[in-house]
Amino acid sequence: MVDMTVQIGSLKLNNPVIAASGTFGFEREIEQYMDLSKLGGISSKGLTIKPRSGNDAPRVAECPQGMLNSVGLQNPGIEYFIENELPHMLTYGCAVIANIAGHEFEEYGEMAKLLEDTAVDAIELNLSCPNVSGGCMAFGSDAYMIRSVVSSVKKVSSKPLWVKLTPNVTSISEMAIAAEEAGADAVSLINTLLGLVIDIDSRRPIMKNNTGGLSGPAVRPVAVRMVNEVYNAVSIPVIGMGGIMTGRDAAEMMIAGASAVQVGTANLVKPTACIDIIRELESWTANTGAAGVSEITGTIVKW
């Protein structure tokens, strides 16, 4: 028997496995395949002030050991989400995290205010989407902007605040420290790595938006390295993601320093991947003799 619960600041999760933003929709399409109460949590698709239809297709492309997406934050808008999707999501019995993505600086605070009277368990500030022209990654690659956005949201929100960081920077630790100093309760990383795939016959980029964000097993070593770097740089919990496909991958991310993990691309390969990952992580933890999965966090052994 292993205690699978983990604590992310004031928020207790059933287990450390969270379905990553954008890979589960608003869960209605997934609920027929699994008991969602078994998850640690679900992060919503990135929400914006106004509805967005996203970028023109083609906007996904497979590549060796991964995929690129350039969805462009397609979503029905935060008010629609609060009225029509959130009440249903809250019935699942796992933590519900609202991922919010602003184009303008002020939009983060406006959305956080709208979420204040809801029962979402945490807000994940998307400062890292690489597929839109303003906000998000443009803010998340500038430590000054991270500080400004996080502190402005902190002023209007009492919800636990997670900041989702981009790997497309020189020093992700610098960005994590900026988030922590401005009051973030946790950081989540990594969002996707900016990539380009070309159809050599037409010589055109495969995706209409040219570039896209790379995810999947190909990025995992980069994610593990960045999680470890950030774990050593901040005192707030780190939520690790990037190419986790199995329970052993989740264990690796936790050994690097993650208190919880998010699973994204694996859900697109197998909708029940999170359940398999929880089961595998539990049995791997039991075999180590640990009483609880949280004991694994940050146990990397140095040479």
Question: Catalytic residues, which ones?
Answer: 129
Residue 87: cis peptide before it, omega within 30 degrees of 0 = no
Q: In a 3-state reduction of DSSP, which class is residue 225? A: helix
- The nearer residue to ligand SIN, 15 or 131, going by C-beta atoms, is 131
Q: How far apart are CA 3 and CA 6, in angstroms?
A: 9
Output the six-digit token pair for 26: 């608003």
| Residue 264 sits in the site that holds ligand SIN (CB under 6 A) | no
- The nearer residue to ligand SIN, 44 or 285, going by C-beta atoms, is 44
Beta bridge partners of 204: 199
Residue 78: cis peptide before it, omega within 30 degrees of 0 = no
| Residue 192 sits in the site that holds ligand SIN (CB under 6 A) | yes
- The nearer residue to ligand SIN, 44 or 128, going by C-beta atoms, is 128
Cβ contact 140:175 at 8 Å:
yes
Please give the helix or strand (H or E) that residue 229 lies within, else none: helix 220-233
| Residue 131 sits in the site that holds ligand SIN (CB under 6 A) | yes
Q: CB under 6 A: which stretch of 65-73, 197-205, 222-230, 279-287 binds ligand SIN? A: 65-73
- The nearer residue to ligand SIN, 126 or 228, going by C-beta atoms, is 126
What is the largest distance, in Å, between two alpha-carbon atoms of the chain?
56
- The nearer residue to ligand SIN, 191 or 267, going by C-beta atoms, is 191
CB of 226 to ligand SIN, least distance (A): 16
Among 11, 39, 129, 143, binds ligand SIN (CB under 6 A): 129
Sequence-distant (≥ 6) Cβ neighbours of residue 295 within 8 angstroms: 285
Sequence-distant (≥ 6) Cβ neighbours of residue 263 within 8 angstroms: 17, 18, 19, 20, 23, 241, 244, 250, 273, 274, 277
| Residue 191 sits in the site that holds ligand SIN (CB under 6 A) | yes
Q: CB under 6 A: which stretch of 124-132, 198-206, 236-244, 262-270 binds ligand SIN? A: 124-132
Residue ranges of E strands in the chain: 6-8, 11-13, 17-19, 41-43, 60-63, 66-69, 95-100, 122-126, 161-164, 186-189, 193-196, 198-199, 204-205, 211-215, 238-241, 260-263
| Residue 213 sits in the site that holds ligand SIN (CB under 6 A) | yes
- The nearer residue to ligand SIN, 22 or 247, going by C-beta atoms, is 22
Q: CB under 6 A: which stretch of 36-44, 122-130, 262-270, 291-299 binds ligand SIN? A: 122-130
| Residue 135 sits in the site that holds ligand SIN (CB under 6 A) | no
| Residue 209 sits in the site that holds ligand SIN (CB under 6 A) | no
Which amino acid is it at 131?
A: N
Among 40, 46, 195, 205, binds ligand SIN (CB under 6 A): 46
CB of 162 to ligand SIN, least distance (A): 13
Rg (CA), the chain: 18
| Residue 297 sits in the site that holds ligand SIN (CB under 6 A) | no
Cβ contact 84:28 at 8 Å:
no
CB of 128 to ligand SIN, least distance (A): 6
Of residues 66 through 85, those in contact with ligand SIN by CB under 6 A are 69-73
Q: How many residues bind ligand SIN (CB under 6 A)?
A: 14
Q: How far apart are CA 177 and CA 132, in angstroms?
A: 25
CB of 1 to ligand SIN, least distance (A): 37
- The residue ranges that bind ligand SIN (CB under 6 A) are 22, 46, 69-73, 126, 128-129, 131, 191-192, 213
